[in-house]
Structure 1
């Protein structure tokens, strides 16, 4: 009788220990995947900051052109200020927060794109070495932004896929830091081809 009791207690102990190990393993994997997302988010912020740092130099170079449109420059300065003021807590990378960040960055991107289009009408400005170098750096930064956003989305996909599998989702829902993360998405209307019109 005593032997059966000890075997039962030992079996229960092994079962509980196995469950604890299994939960610990899932928790540790969630932590690792979550930290990967935070690290990649830092990279995304770095490339956006690089772009924000380049814009004042670009604006100052363009300001040197006497007849340049001041309204466009003011819009860029305002858009940069708004984009820089949007701060996201990397512990809350929900879809709503990512959309808020992306909207501010898209507004800045649209302003810079308008500036570069308007500059086409100023061949003297376009040909200056400073402007040429800044434009190239800005284009390179936009490419880096795209690469880092894609990497971020890959990390989010890995995390969300792992956390949403049953029964891992039950464990993930016990901890607030393991909520589903948001993706960067393409701009609305980005699937429509731009209209090119040289009649003006």
Structure 2
């Protein structure tokens, strides 16, 4: 009878070890999500940094395309000021739409299309767009893995105790599916 206390102590010790192991797993997963999100932010910042150079290059060739250039500048500011993944996704979609209208302008001005600086900036922007797509995919994969841990039993209990909440995906807004509206009339 002297050893009757041993089993409860062992069970408690095993439960404590399992709790801390699971808790540390959540910490690692959350850090993976945060690190992956920072990669999106890095690429979005790169994109935001390219835009002023692109706009100033275009201004020299198409100064009367003020609305498109203003939309690009405004959406760039919204992206720079976004606070959440969803806000960033919406601002990113607006900037993408504005930049796609810039591509239409490029077609209307052959001299702009031939400008070496413009071509280089557009190539850098295209590369950045690819990096953003990869970073978004990686982030969303990390979020999916993390959210599964948060929702599944017994992880849901540990997540609740440890304060680990579900993370937001980096989603495109509903209007991102719509093509940009471009006016080919002389009303620019």
Normalising by structure 1, we get a TM-score of 0.84
Matched, 1:184 2:180: no
Determine if the alignment matches structure 1 residue 156 to structure 2 residue 152: no
* Counterpart Cα distance in 2 of 1:16 and 1:66: 73
1:76 aligns with 2:72: yes
Which range moves more in the overlay, 139-148 or 57-66? 57-66
Counterpart of 1:54 in 2: which secondary structure?
helix
In the alignment, is the contact (CA less than 8 A) between 1:62 and 1:68 conserved in 2? no
Deviation per residue, 1:73-111 (Å, 9 max, x gap): 112111111110113xxxxxxxxx322221111111111
Segments of 4+ moved more than 4 angstroms? 189-192
Q: Residue 64 of structure 1 corresponds to which residue in structure 2?
A: 60
1:98 — aligned with what?
A: 85
The alpha carbon displacement at 1:186 in A equals 3.7
Q: What RMSD in Å do the two structures reach over aligned CA positions?
A: 2.0
The unaligned stretches of length 5 or more in structure 2 are none
Matched length: 182
Deviation at 1:68, TM superposition (A): 3.7
Matches of 2:146 and 2:168, distance apart in 1: 11
Q: Which has the higher helix share?
A: 2
Q: Which residue of 1 aligns with 2:22?
A: 26
Look up the SS of the partner of 2:94 in the other structure: helix
Separation (CA, whole Å) in 2 of partners of 1:33 and 1:175: 13
| SS across alignment from 1:179 | coil
1:105-124 mapped onto 2 (5 Å cutoff): 105-124=92-111
SS in 2 for 1:184: coil
Q: Tell me the alpha carbon deviations over residues 131-181 of structure 1, each in whole angstroms, 9 at most, x when there is no partner.
A: 0010111011001000000000111111111221111101101222x1011
